[in-house]
Structure 1
Amino acid sequence: MSHPRIPLTAFCLAALAFLASGAQAQGITDFMRARPPQLRAPAPTPAPAAPAAGQPRQRVAEYIVALVNSEPVTNTEVQKRVERALRQGNPEMQRIPRAELNRMALERIIAEKAQMQTAKEVGIRIDDLAVDQAVENVARQNQISVDEMRRQLVAGGDTFESFRNDLRSQLTLLRLREREVEPKVKITDLEVDQYLQEQRNKAGGAAAPQEINLGQVLVAVPENASADQVAAAQRKAEDIARRARGGDDFAALAREYSDSPDKANGGAMGLRNADRYPALFTEAVASTAVGGIAGPVRSSAGFHVLKVISKAQFGDAATVTQTKVRHILLRVDDNRTTAQAVDILAGFKRRIESGTATFEGLARDNSQDGSAKDGGELGWSRPGLFVPEFEDAMNRLAPGQISDPVVTRFGVHLIQAEERREAKLSQAEQRDAARALLREKRLEDAYDTWAQEVRARAYVEYREPPQS
């Protein structure tokens, strides 16, 4: 089984769009266009202030503003979408008249409802376990607890249940995209050759996209920490930075002291385009040479000590962290629910750890993909090879460690990280990376075209215009 990496304008956690930076404001383009939105926790913002004493509270009238194939869109739905976008603080949003924001939100909701109806027709369903893991991923990538994320959501005027429902809808749209759009996007060898030649011609130029691999040690600062606690955390981070600059092994420091899930990987966060790291990180290491230490820098999660593991222009033979990995996959279908697959794989993990079974043997007898005959072996992986859910779980494992069951779009996995190494990308791997990047760009246009077609097929009846 292959695990193509699905770059989500949308989920790519691994896409690690939230990593250590907290939630990012949703862009106006996302608000206007019918894309599957990015899975992320809204930035903590205060709830709207209560009206002054004696001042009447304005109430939004509830009525139907449109029908999408007989499914209603209410004025409340539109106003909640607009308010959420405004709370997330995009300055461009603040300059747009409210009537235009209402219209944009209505069109976005209409497009989403048309797509959700299509997903229902083709039988796409997202169960509670998949939503639970998505919630945990968003919290972990923000480097906060689920409880803290719940508190931030409430402080921002949302409810945790509505956030879960949004995640379920987003996951549904992503599965629909995978089914309907991605199989149609192909990148030829000639296109890869042309792209690589373009990058070679631009080598050393400012336009060439830079890729970086950063390591981190996070010293977490608890919620509502006192000044003394913050100062103690800062002193600890400064001491770690001093030791790293003095020659102590950074990976060992990360494994011993870091509060981040990537500590098992020696703190390495993986080679990716610079714009896929938090701006806080890229600004901190902008003038730091390969092998150098930056920080500590402060985020909402705590203090980060950063190491520049590698920097490269795209297409260079960059050094990356590779993981030798194997897995057992159980597919979810009419005969097996996600919960049943999770229970079976949890039992497999207990048997392996107790010594009554081997990973290789259980994979060979039970795994439902092409790796079964090889005992589940997937070989040496480069960053970005697997889907984000799988890769995130793999990266958090120490060599020899076995994950808890992991839900992905393919089914449920039991994952074991066998070994790790630093290695340069081969020419074949560079071509694969170039192909993936070109495919990501092509998918954007293909998704837009498909979404417009779905919208055009829907019967839409406009009623009264939305009013705030």
Structure 2
Amino acid sequence: MRICAFALCLGFAGLLPAMAADVSTVEVILAKVNGDIVTKADLERAKKDAASALKARGATPQQIEEALKQGEKDVLRDRIDNLLLVQRGKELNINVDSEVSKYIAGLQSETKISDPDKFQQYVREATGMTYEDFKAETTNQMLTQRVVGQEVYSKVNIPHAEIEDYYNKNKSSFIRKERVFLREILVSTEGKDEAGKAAAEKKAKDLVARARKGERFPDLIRDNSDAATAKQGGDLGGWEKSDLSAEIVNAVWEKPKGFVSDPIRVGAGWEILRVEEHFKEGQAELADVENEIKERIAGARMAPKVREYLTELRRSAFLELRDDAIDTGAAPGKDTRWENAALLKAETTTREEVAAQSRTRRLLWAFPVPGTNVGATGVSTSK
């Protein structure tokens, strides 16, 4: 779940907007969060990156201006939110290494850059960050999602009676076109020689045979799929016939629930599809849309719950803010005044000077990186 208003403008798959980085800059610290810092330059970059993301998604200049104006007052709040969630994830010993690896492998597959060095160069050019920093930013984003899911979402129960009531009051919104719902296993051939490609094809055929003999498809996905969807159980969601290629239509459209396709050759390797559901056109039954209704109810209910959770994290955190820095998510009654205002004087530092003190990462606007050892007088961010 995204917490910040600007983050709503940029999906997680869009982690690669073009960014510029300063070689040397004057930094003004606005806040300290359990030892980590937020600077004025961080917030300025946040707004620039949000504008770039909106532009890439086709927004007009007027739409961009309105979105930035609406979200500007909460930029500092969003920074603090993300720092607190990342820190909490580390306290809970949450490990997202496998998810990060799957995500980056998916990006590499999408960009069709199989050579590791060329892919890392692509990341540097697209983000202005080193590959290691980009991977760290991705890790932090996934940590925040896991923390919210574990600490907030998992504790909310929605009674069936409430789901049924919502369905009855909103039946017109559940009139469906015909769709097939699919799961996938991808056996990758990326970067493999002819022998490796032949082995991948054999593995895909063996997996089909195992699935048809009754092995649990989710287990086969978990243990064998190279797709970015593997962490989500290979879920591809629902598709209308017109959205599918002729080959996939022939493979799955008229097949019953539970059918497992033969391996299908795709750009990244061999894909195996399983039919989860095939809904006909017309009024959807409650059982068919129950999970969707849960998500709708939870979405409306979770925003205040997440804000309550972040307020509690603030209560137990060490926070110091400049007098002119406004945290719109501040915990009521908590004193966050900077104890020694004389230390807030900005310094001009170079990339080399900062590296000599401690290695710091340039902050991607929606994905803050905690753990710097920079003192209270200032910090320079870099690639």
TM-score, structure 1 as length reference = 0.45
- For residue 144 of structure 1, report the CA deviation from its aligned partner: 5.2
User: Kindly tell me: are residues 393 and 322 of structure 1, through their superposed partners in 2, closer, same or farther at Cα, counting changes over 3 Å?
Assistant: closer
SS of residue matched to 1:60: strand
Residue 84 of structure 1 pairs with residue 52 of structure 2: no
Is 1:69–1:460's contact at 8 Å kept on the other side of the alignment? yes
Is 1:401–1:416's contact at 8 Å kept on the other side of the alignment? yes
Residue 359 of structure 1 pairs with residue 218 of structure 2: no
Distance 1:158 1:360 in 2: 44
User: Kindly tell me: are residues 443 and 402 of structure 1, through their superposed partners in 2, closer, same or farther at Cα, counting changes over 3 Å?
Assistant: farther
Figure out how many residues of one structure are paired with residues of the other and give that number. 272
Is 2:184–2:273's contact at 8 Å kept on the other side of the alignment? yes
Deviations 1:341-381 (A, max 9, x none): xxxxx9x97775575995259985xxxxxx59x98699xxx
User: Kindly tell me: are residues 464 and 87 of structure 1, through their superposed partners in 2, closer, same or farther at Cα, counting changes over 3 Å?
Assistant: farther
SS of residue matched to 1:417: strand
User: Kindly tell me: are residues 393 and 153 of structure 1, through their superposed partners in 2, closer, same or farther at Cα, counting changes over 3 Å?
Assistant: farther
Q: Which runs of 5+ in 1 are unaligned?
A: 1-7, 11-27, 49-56, 204-313, 328-345, 365-370, 379-385, 405-413
Deviations 1:119-147 (A, max 9, x none): 001001222x532432454677xx75567
2:100 to 103, 115, 131: 131
Deviations 1:199-232 (A, max 9, x none): 13xx3xxxxxxxxxxxxxxxxxxxxxxxxxxxxx
Is 2:158–2:294's contact at 8 Å kept on the other side of the alignment? yes
2:136 to 155, 165, 171: 165
TM-score, structure 2 as length reference = 0.53
Q: Which has the higher contact order (CA 8 A, sep 6+)?
A: 2
Residue 400 of structure 1 pairs with residue 374 of structure 2: no
- For residue 160 of structure 1, report the CA deviation from its aligned partner: 5.6
- For residue 320 of structure 1, report the CA deviation from its aligned partner: 1.6
Is 2:85–2:143's contact at 8 Å kept on the other side of the alignment? no
Distance 2:135 2:150 in 1: 23
User: Kindly tell me: are residues 324 and 107 of structure 1, through their superposed partners in 2, closer, same or farther at Cα, counting changes over 3 Å?
Assistant: closer
Q: Which has the higher helix share?
A: 2
Aligned match of 2:362? none
User: Kindly tell me: are residues 363 and 429 of structure 1, through their superposed partners in 2, closer, same or farther at Cα, counting changes over 3 Å?
Assistant: same
Distance 1:46 1:457 in 2: 34
User: Kindly tell me: are residues 183 and 176 of structure 1, through their superposed partners in 2, closer, same or farther at Cα, counting changes over 3 Å?
Assistant: same
1:113 to 79, 83, 90: 83
- For residue 78 of structure 1, report the CA deviation from its aligned partner: 3.6
Aligned match of 1:442? 301
Residue 39 of structure 1 pairs with residue 12 of structure 2: yes
Q: Which runs of 5+ in 2 are unaligned?
A: 56-63, 187-196, 223-229, 252-260, 326-345, 349-383
Aligned match of 1:72? 37
Deviations 1:130-173 (A, max 9, x none): 32432454677xx7556799759736x63363443332211111
Aligned match of 1:194? 165
- For residue 77 of structure 1, report the CA deviation from its aligned partner: 3.3
User: Kindly tell me: are residues 86 and 351 of structure 1, through their superposed partners in 2, closer, same or farther at Cα, counting changes over 3 Å?
Assistant: closer
Matches within 5 A, 1:201-220: 203=172
Residue 184 of structure 1 pairs with residue 35 of structure 2: no
Is 1:325–1:416's contact at 8 Å kept on the other side of the alignment? yes
Aligned match of 2:315? 456
SS of residue matched to 1:65: strand
